Amino acid sequence: MNTTLNISAYKFVTLLDAIALREELLARALALQLKGTILLAEEGINLFLAGNAESVHGFVSQLHTDARFADIAPKESWSDHQPFKKMLVKVKREIIRMDHPTIQPSTGRAPAVDAVTVKRWLDQGVDDEGREVVTLDTRNDFEVDLGTFNGAIDWRITKFTEFPQAMLDHKAELEGKTVVSFCTGGIRCEKAAILMREAGLQNVFQLEGGILKYFEETGGPHYTGACFVFDERRAVAADLSAVELPSADAA
């Protein structure tokens, strides 16, 4: 029986009090008996939490009382067990490391496209202006290998810090196309879309909410396989249920 609510959310927003906020959020999460990971940096917040629904929703409600996080809308899924072993709140240099300091999403997002629109574009093969639509997977290679959009561009990066150079190497291949960058929950593809726009690519969008929101709102057409998640479930299917993966020594 699925009794554990799992949420993931992020927001790029300037946080000058990340260290003090760490203590506050850790105490709040522990009081609610939640487990998971919250990352804080000057550029924003990134969180993965799990627990009973009342506690999870209570944490989010409290988070919304801070004006900086008032519009955070977590993605939800359910599991039959607690997928995290402990509760961690960490202060980092970046909530998703790109090592490209000029990219600051808190100062302005790249245009986003919602899941339903992406599905429609993929059904058509073109966007609403008739341009060819391509999907660009901004995740690491092992994540892509578990599942991705059909025909997605995959540059076989092993860590996100490799993305800026890969983009420069392949930029010409994207010219004149509508590019939808995507990732698990939206955080990497948001930075990637900003980087590509700053590099001069005109028709670049981030998939709002990433693969998880796409699964939630469309059921997953045009996507084959599972989506890697950052907890002990390891991967979820298009219906957001946990997927059993073969063990490394199964072969």
Can you tell me the distance from the alpha carbon of 119 to that of 218, in angstroms, rounded to the nearest whole number? 7
Instruction: Please give the Cα distance from 233 to 236 (Å, whole number).
Output: 7
Structure tokens at 186: 């939206």
CA dist., res. 193 & res. 111, Å (int): 8
- Alpha helices by DSSP H, the chain: 18-31, 53-64, 115-124, 141-146, 163-174, 187-198, 210-218
- Cα–Cα distance, 241 to 1 (Å, whole number): 12
What gap in Å lies between CA 193 and CA 3, rounded to an integer? 36
| Residue 189 is among the residues annotated as catalytic for this protein | no
Kindly write down the DSSP assignment for every residue of 224-249, as one continuous string. EE-EE-SSTT-EE-TTS-B-----TT
Q: Around Cβ 218, how many Cβ atoms within 10 Å?
A: 18
Question: Per the residue annotation, which of 183, 189, 211, 229 is the catalytic one?
Answer: 183
Strand ranges for 80-161 from DSSP E: 87-91, 112-113, 133-137, 147-149, 153-154
Q: Tell me the C-alpha to C-alpha distance, in Å, between residue 89 and each of 77, 141, 226, 229.
A: 21, 27, 28, 18
DSSP label at residue 110: P
Query: Which are the contacts of 67, defined by CB distance < 8 A and separation ≥ 6?
Result: none
Question: Catalytic residue positions?
Answer: 183
